[in-house]
A and B are shown apart, each in its own frame.
Chain A
């Protein structure tokens, strides 16, 4: 289907036209959905500047995803968010088109722990068969945390296993942003499950936005059909990353 857009100087003649909406059987067509789920740490440790920076960074990341959505020709991005501390909860339960999202700030949970396992399990439930469109692109999960997992023994593993027990969970692009060097841990590497995809480390709150932009780039490009995810991970996130400012910083590991 071709479409056409013509601009003239006075903008009055801006138009789009599409050829042949022929009598096509079925309930209509649309781009393939790409579900992007943010799993954000709202433990007590995030209180103050960190959570503010994170909220800013997430809000700032969305336009990047929306811009990519406009530019490419195969996916429509839907966003959801899980806020977790001692317990997880849906911050955005129903998928919202990225172009329509208005980020509602996350709130830290006073004295809340960093229990990741239940959050993974909650995401796993949302990715269970029947919960996603069969034609959906592989979902993308972004875990953002400032600390080590504080799950009771076996809790992290059980939650991650629940997520990975879902075919869409296994197939998902899983990225992680660690806020502070101390936050980088084996747990995040386990979550990513791909040695070719590094943990993105934000050394300070100013870095968070850059890391999330990097993550959104990775989510978008690595979700494209036919993408060589390994090569893209190397290019976008790894040592061979393109010479963009955010990639030149050594905090991108």
Chain B
């Protein structure tokens, strides 16, 4: 068996990982497994950045070359407390061990394994082997890098064992043939998405300690803290599997966020191929890790079914929450995994597909769901989110029509241009008919330490969904119908964007805006920004008068607190 292992414990900005796992299973009851596509992103949290802490998340992926399409993906979150001062190493060791153990598990069960045998193997062997091998890896690392006298003294005074500084969570998913096995210790989330948008947790929900504590590989009774699940994919189709460290879930406004994310993933999977996801997932991680999200290190790994697009398309709409699948087979831990070898292919990301209208961008709302208010838990046959998904759906419905926030620029108005758009956006000053009921609601955002509140004025309506908005000092830019429209403001640049009040009308006639670069004069010359009309993405693309590079260039963060 070959081994393809890539690891992304990126200490810096977001990292990308894309790969396919091959396989065409034949004979003995096994069926062709196709190729599961893996996308992953890992981003250092804004908080970590500001206090000089490293990225303590890790992600790794392994793909076998056997025909059963074996794949293992692991993410881990090293604990942030100072007691766990080697947690970045601990998480890196965890994902390495996870993939290695996962690869052996898949190899050992690659044949026509009966479900009972699979469940027994996962139940009895997986957690035990993970814990044992992680501890062995820690011991090996410790031998090579012993604690300093001060570190040892701190451990002694706290009564901590040698593994404590390496404390980390671990989320591991292994697929082969028609099986999916998952194991998790600590916080973070696993979300299995069905083709019709339903979703479920493939491991039982653990009772995690309140506050900032979590179960951990480093605790003495780690074995008991593992949560394990097995699923026969012949019985229950899974379109995608999302694994994420808690930086992702802690960023989500909706509570619970899983049902909506599941539906959106299914919808996106029907429209986009895996290359698109490979480009997006790192961005999602980056957004969640930013000061607009949890600010914590964030790692997201997405396993996408080989036929995801067709499956999702066949399943059709995801508007109505369908009945849930049966409770996934879950098993408690206990025994050892037979060894096997691993292998390598990882592929470069192909060129991104053209973006199309579809799932809208939901921008953060500052408060999100009203805090302090109870959300009613929802139930469905076979599965249940702890809090009301109905509430989340309500939030989602609002979010779907919402426009959002952001940025400001001084010279955007120069870039008006003309092109027709399938969706009309109108203001009171515009002769175009106002046909929309899609009314964006006020959205609060925080950017660069400044509160920006956008409330689209009542004069502005759209005939189609407005999926995003950009408020600037020269107008509100709306993304609607895959076009960007500019709603000019009265008074031009005099009306500052960094206002805590909604912009006041009346507004000028609407102007389609084709996108392009913007040069903004500043203290040190010009800063070039690029706005992608497709996604309304604003990128800092460089400085000086030169033409800006394509949107997607790494943004530059110049305003955040500099530790120096």
Contact = CB atoms under 8 A, between A and B. Distances in A.
Contact of A15 (B294, B410, B560): B410
B82 A135 contact: no
A9 B406 CA distance: 22
B406 A16 contact: yes
A17 B407 contact: yes
Contacts of B251: 29-30, 32, 135
B144 interface: no
Contact of B396 (A27, A95, A126): A27
B362 A26 contact: yes
Interface stretch (A143-151, A165-173, A235-243): A165-173
Tell me if A's interface is mostly helix, strand, loop or mixed: loop
- Report the contact-size class of chain B (Cβ under 8 Å from the partner): 35 or more
B374 A130 contact: yes
B319 to A, nearest CB: 15
Contact of A4 (B254, B521, B556): B556
A171 B399 contact: no
Contacts of B408: 14-17
Contact of B211 (A22, A80, A138): A138
Given A32-B294, A171-B211, A16 B264 contact: no
Interface in B383-398: 386-387, 392, 395-396
Given A135-B255, A224-B47, A22 B287 contact: yes
B139 to A, nearest CB: 26
A70 B448 CA distance: 8
Given A15-B520, A78-B371, A71 B561 contact: yes
B559 A15 contact: no
B407 A15 contact: yes
Contact of A8 (B387, B523, B538): B523
A18 B557 contact: no
Nearest to B255: A133
A22 B368 contact: no
Contacts of A17: 406-409, 529, 538-540
A26 B520 contact: no
B555 A31 contact: no
Contacts of B256: 134
Nearest to B376: A130
B268 A25 contact: yes
A231 to B, nearest CB: 8
Contacts of B377: 130
A95 B366 CA distance: 13
B367 A30 contact: yes
Of A25, A32, A130, A131, which is in contact with the most chain B CB atoms at under 10 Å from its CB?
Answer: A25
B219 interface: no
B369 interface: yes
A209 B448 CA distance: 29
A27 B359 contact: no
Interface residues of A, number: 63
Contacts of A132: 371-372
A12 interface: yes
A73 B46 contact: yes
A95 B372 contact: yes
A99 B366 CA distance: 12
B280 A33 contact: no
Contact of B252 (A2, A26, A126, A137): A26
B202 interface: no
Given A26-B261, A27-B395, A74-B294, A168 B210 contact: yes
Nearest to A15: B408
A244 interface: no
Contacts of B523: 6-9
A33 B369 CA distance: 10
Contact of A3 (B294, B468, B536, B557): B557
A21 B536 contact: yes
A62 B279 CA distance: 42
B524 to A, nearest CB: 9
Contact of B210 (A32, A71, A131, A170): A170
B513 interface: no
B527 interface: yes
A21 B80 contact: no
Contact of B292 (A12, A30, A35, A171): A30
Contacts of B527: 4, 6
Contacts of B410: 12-13, 15
Interface stretch (B112-120, B161-169, B449-457): B449-457
Contacts of A12: 410, 473, 493
A99 B445 CA distance: 12
B347 interface: no
B284 interface: yes
Interface in A157-214: 167-168, 170-171
B537 A21 contact: yes
Nearest to A67: B449
B386 A138 contact: no
B280 A29 contact: no
Nearest to A171: B211
A61 to B, nearest CB: 19
Contacts of A168: 210
B371 A33 contact: yes
B87 to A, nearest CB: 10
B407 A30 contact: no
Interface of B: 45-47, 50-51, 53, 80-82, 210-212, 249-257, 260-261, 264-265, 268, 280, 283-284, 286-296, 355, 358-375, 377, 386-387, 392, 395-396, 399, 402, 404, 406-410, 446-452, 468, 472-473, 493, 496-498, 520-523, 527, 529, 535-540, 552, 555-561
Interface of A: 1-9, 11-33, 35, 70-74, 76, 78, 80, 94-95, 97, 99, 126, 130-138, 167-168, 170-171, 224-226, 228
17 contacts: A2-B560, A3-B291, A3-B555, A3-B560, A4-B540, A15-B520, A16-B452, A20-B286, A23-B359, A26-B257, A28-B399, A29-B293, A31-B446, A35-B372, A74-B45, A74-B296, A226-B47
Given A132-B372, A133-B368, A226-B47, 20 more contacts: A3-B290, A3-B557, A5-B449, A13-B520, A16-B406, A17-B408, A18-B406, A18-B407, A19-B555, A20-B287, A21-B363, A22-B280, A26-B257, A27-B362, A31-B446, A73-B291, A78-B371, A97-B367, A135-B249, A138-B212
